[in-house]
């Protein structure tokens, strides 16, 4: 892709080129975004809508978050605000209930949309002994359940999270990793210069910029422009591969 009025362009890697770059890198620390990077779609929004349909929260709460999300889409509510509020709506519920709901949602709606190529990339990185982290602004219950299929443990997940006391979900925000907040979340666990970062959207740009090696995956238009400015290559799945990854045996 060439930027309008400039000679800058981001080079599109083939699957073989991406695979070789990861093989040659042998990262000690690798960081992966989730929605759009490991699987297709926005699992955070999808889970919220599904949970509202399931009646997991009250009608008044459902109406409130719907209004807030409309305001977010209009640009009147920030990314970090809405991601935090999408977790706070479950305050007062038991966490074990949310874990069961996340397991059901991921099994039915996320697992079929996981990218086969990313299973291979994560597996290759893991086999090399790397410390692997998942960083996402989606709620932690869904992210933990989703990345379990990739072999990423819960203790290596940084995601939108509220405090839980006595098994009951509260409303105090623990973390909302998005934009520069992803970098802050990584710094809190001692990661300031990961060997490789994989992300798909402009909200991943800050953590891609701190990486020794940036790997834009299925990049959004905004991230593609940033990749061109930074001189990064990128990988995009072929349309012929379809929307869903084959996760058999993963």
The pTM (predicted TM-score) of the whole model is 0.91
pLDDT value at 5 more than 90? no
What gap in Å lies between CA 115 and CA 122, rounded to an integer?
11
Q: What is the mean pLDDT of residues 65-92?
A: 97
Decide which of 3.30.565.10, 3.40.50.1820, 2.40.50.100, 3.40.50.1000 is the CATH code for 12-239: 3.40.50.1000
Give pLDDT, residue 9: 87
Task: Tell me if 159 sits within 8 A of 137, measured CB to CB.
Answer: yes
pLDDT digits (tens, 9 = 90+) for 13-27: 999 999 999 999 999
At a CB cut-off of 8 Å and minimum separation 6, what does 243 contact?
40, 113
At a CB cut-off of 8 Å and minimum separation 6, what does 221 contact?
none
What average pLDDT is seen over the chain?
Answer: 92
What gap in Å lies between CA 136 and CA 34, rounded to an integer?
6
Q: Of 7-16, 200-209, 239-248, which gets the smallest average pLDDT?
A: 239-248
Give pLDDT, residue 8: 77
pLDDT level of residue 81 (50, 70, 90 thresholds): very high
């Amino acid at each position: 892709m060439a930027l309008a009025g400039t000679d800058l362009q981001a080079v599109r890697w083939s699957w073989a080129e991406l695979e070789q770059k990861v093989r040659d890198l042998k990262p000690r620390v690798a960081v992966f975004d989730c929605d759009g990077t490991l699987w297709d779609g926005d699992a955070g929004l999808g889970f919220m809508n599904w949970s509202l349909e399931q009646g997991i929260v009250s009608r008044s709460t459902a109406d409130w978050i719907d209004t807030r999300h409309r305001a977010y889409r209009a640009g009147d509510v920030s990314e970090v605000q809405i991601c935090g509020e999408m977790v706070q709506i479950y305050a007062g519920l038991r966490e074990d209930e949310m874990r069961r709901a996340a397991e059901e949602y991921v099994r039915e709606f996320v697992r079929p949309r996981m990218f086969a190529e990313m299973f291979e990339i994560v597996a290759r990185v893991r086999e090399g002994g790397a410390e692997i982290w998942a960083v996402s602004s989606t709620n932690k219950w869904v992210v933990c359940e989703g990345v379990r299929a990739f072999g990423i443990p819960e203790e290596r997940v940084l995601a939108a999270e509220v405090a839980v006391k006595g098994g009951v979900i509260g409303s105090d925000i623990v973390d909302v990793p998005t934009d520069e907040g992803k970098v802050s979340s990584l710094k809190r666990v001692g990661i300031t210069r990961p060997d490789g970062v994989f992300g798909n959207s402009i909200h991943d740009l800050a953590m891609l910029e701190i990486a020794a090696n940036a790997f834009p995956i299925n990049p959004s238009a905004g991230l593609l422009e940033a990749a061109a400015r930074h001189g990064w290559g990128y990988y995009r799945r072929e349309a012929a591969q379809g929307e869903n990854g084959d996760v058999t045996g993963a």
